[in-house]
Structure 1
Amino acid sequence: MDYIDYYSVLGISKNATPNEIKKAYRKLARKYHPDVNPNDAEAERKFKQINEANEVLGNPENRKKYDEYGKDWQHADEIEKARKAQQQGRQYQSSGGFGEHDFSDFFESMFGGRTTRGYSSGRQPKYRGQDFNAELKLQLNEVYSTHKRTLTVNGKNIRITIPAGIENGQTIKINGHGGPGRNGGPKGDLYITFIIENNTPFKRDGNNLYKNVDLDIYTAVLGGEITVGTFDGKVKLNVKPETQNGTKVKLKGKGFPIYKKEGKFGDLFITYTIKTPTNLSAKEKELFKELAKLKSPK
């Protein structure tokens, strides 16, 4: 495996903070995402490399190994074990313990192959593949119901199920869809982080939704029936007489789906905003004056 300077890939310095790494990754991932650059092999190559860089530098433990071992960072634990075993073998041999042949047998038991001067030359240890990270941008109404979607990751199409109620910033793991293993080792996993954008009149907070509804002054004073839009349709509400501005009404079960709890929903909270009438006719103004006289203290 050739050495890749992941700091250069993300356009950051070796002293970059975790937050700077995250910002650089997100900016480049959006720029080179396959959905933005369809049928662009170069953009696809860069997108794959950007994800690899984030997998290494975005994880403090992986970053430490990479800084020390470069292209062999994935095998840092094995290298450390081999060094320690080799050192212990020399110490034991110098104190009259097992000889070079015995140490070779000991080293072979660790790595599963025959050894020459402490290095495996037969069967090699199996290494798990690299994990991949990706972002998926969706609209709020797209995660209101469970659906399937095909993603392109490193040139391969992956069909996944997106559960209803998934939240902004939530990450899910897709087993076995990361990088290939080495020497017959298992594949890595794919981690998908969801970016949920909201272009609806609703505000989401967890499983609950919030919405402001305009209420004309006449209905607020006298009461009446109004129709209000929810996330999945319309409902009729009875407004009580003398309803005040800022009054809140809870519609139970009309909120957002609860993640991985089929058929369960949060609540919808309606806040009334009373609208003062404008462009009054002369007759309307006269009637308001009459009302004002009636309400004036005697």
Structure 2
Amino acid sequence: MDYKDYYKILEVDKKAPKEEIKKQYKKLARKYHPDVNPGNKEAEEKFKAINEAHEVLSDDEKRQKYDTLGADWKRYEQAGGGAGGFDWSQYAQGGRPGGSYTYSNMGGDFEGADFSDFFRDIFGGMGGGGGQQAGSRRTRSFKGQDYTAELTLPLHEAYTGGRKTITVNGKNLRINIKPGVEDGQTIRLKGNGGPGANGGEPGDLYITFRIEPDPHFTRRGNDLYVDADIPVYKAALGGDAFIDTMSGQLKIKVKPETKNGTLLRLRGKGFPVYNQPDTFGDLYVKINLQLPENLTEKEKDLFQQLAQARGE
């Protein structure tokens, strides 16, 4: 029977604290999980070994017993597997390999997938005295693999929200998008990832939104920016003008003598604030003066009169 170097399997130092062992175990378990490596027998065996190593090194009593055995293992091998004065009974539970075993007083049940003979010889794990049949085991349950996906939306759909259907790993999912999602924002759909192992819960689905640029509106946080072309005479004299918003056209008052590049702020006409119903940012309207084209003779004459009246 070969000695199992659990520290080497988990890629940690023999003095590694519990926190490091737990962190490394999670890292390796994700890497070699059957969901990530379907049909890969080598990864499956590695996954089993990682579980077994964690079962021992994460338990203070098992780890102490394992470390003590490690120091005596060469003596055990030289003694021919228990002969020659080596007291194997202080480690093995119940006699020779292949016989029946009783549980040690470490809690009885061991969780883990397909433990090796090395593990069972030292810590027990088969029937006899514990009420279990020979060869039966309990297995550790594992959460399924988390999935990730991206969903691209035009700006107006990010504004309104609504229902969308996406396909992840061949499965159609209908999701409800709240108004105000941002570019790069990620949401979690619990239980829509890969299936769990040994009765474990399924993983989650993480969806990242990508918002397409809009030809008219620029979004900065929850505020929107838009340009509005205003005839020069209306900017000079003042009057009503219609501008575009995400919810439709809106009539505004243009003050007399409005200058080119003036920025108007319309409160509450911007983008909806995510997860805050009926709360909106502001809309900033940049006034661009629009000069008339293809002037008639009469229009040219009127402009000349205006210039003369102003002494220009």
Q: Give me the TM-score of the superposition, normalised by structure 2.
A: 0.65
Would you say the 8 A contact 1:108–1:115 is kept in 2? no
CA deviation digits over 1:142-170, x for unaligned, max 9? 12223222222212222221111111111
The counterpart of 1:90, out of the listed 66, 70, 77, is 66
Structure 1 residues without counterparts, runs of 5 or longer: 1-60
98-107 or 281-290, which deviates more = 98-107
Other structure's SS at 1:177 match: coil
Residue 230 of structure 2 is aligned to residue 215 of structure 1: yes
Count of matched residue positions in the alignment of Structure 1 and Structure 2: 236
Aligned pairs for 1:130-141 within 5 A: 130-141=145-156
- Whole-angstrom distance in 2 between the partners of 1:164 and 1:75: 45
CA deviation digits over 1:192-234, x for unaligned, max 9? 1111113341111111111000011100111111111211122
Aligned residue for 2:51? 78
The counterpart of 1:203, out of the listed 218, 226, 229, is 218
Structure 2 residues without counterparts, runs of 5 or longer: 1-25, 73-86, 95-101, 126-134
Q: Give 1:66 shift.
A: 3.4
Aligned residue for 1:242? 257
Residue 301 of structure 2 is aligned to residue 286 of structure 1: yes
**AA partner of residue 43 (structure 2):** K
Would you say the 8 A contact 1:128–1:186 is kept in 2? yes
Would you say the 8 A contact 1:107–1:118 is kept in 2? no
Residue 224 of structure 2 is aligned to residue 252 of structure 1: no
Other structure's SS at 1:101 match: coil
Would you say the 8 A contact 1:172–1:191 is kept in 2? yes
Would you say the 8 A contact 1:150–1:158 is kept in 2? yes
Aligned in 2, Cα 1:63/1:90: closer, same or farther, shift over 3 Å? closer
Aligned residue for 1:100? 92
Would you say the 8 A contact 1:143–1:164 is kept in 2? yes
Aligned in 2, Cα 1:156/1:124: closer, same or farther, shift over 3 Å? same
Aligned residue for 2:117? 116
Other structure's SS at 1:130 match: coil
CA deviation digits over 1:45-84, x for unaligned, max 9? xxxxxxxxxxxxxxxx8599739x9835877863552463
Aligned in 2, Cα 1:84/1:63: closer, same or farther, shift over 3 Å? closer
- Whole-angstrom distance in 2 between the partners of 1:227 and 1:74: 66
Aligned in 2, Cα 1:143/1:282: closer, same or farther, shift over 3 Å? same
Would you say the 8 A contact 2:29–2:50 is kept in 1? no
- Whole-angstrom distance in 2 between the partners of 1:210 and 1:175: 36
Other structure's SS at 1:219 match: helix
Select the structure that is richer in helix.
1
Q: Give 1:88 shift.
A: 4.2
Aligned in 2, Cα 1:184/1:65: closer, same or farther, shift over 3 Å? closer
Would you say the 8 A contact 1:127–1:184 is kept in 2? yes
Would you say the 8 A contact 1:104–1:115 is kept in 2? no
Aligned residue for 1:13? none
- Whole-angstrom distance in 2 between the partners of 1:225 and 1:239: 6
Aligned in 2, Cα 1:282/1:74: closer, same or farther, shift over 3 Å? farther
**AA partner of residue 178 (structure 2):** P
Aligned pairs for 1:265-284 within 5 A: 265-284=280-299
| Sequence identity percentage | 39
Q: Give 1:116 shift.
A: 3.0
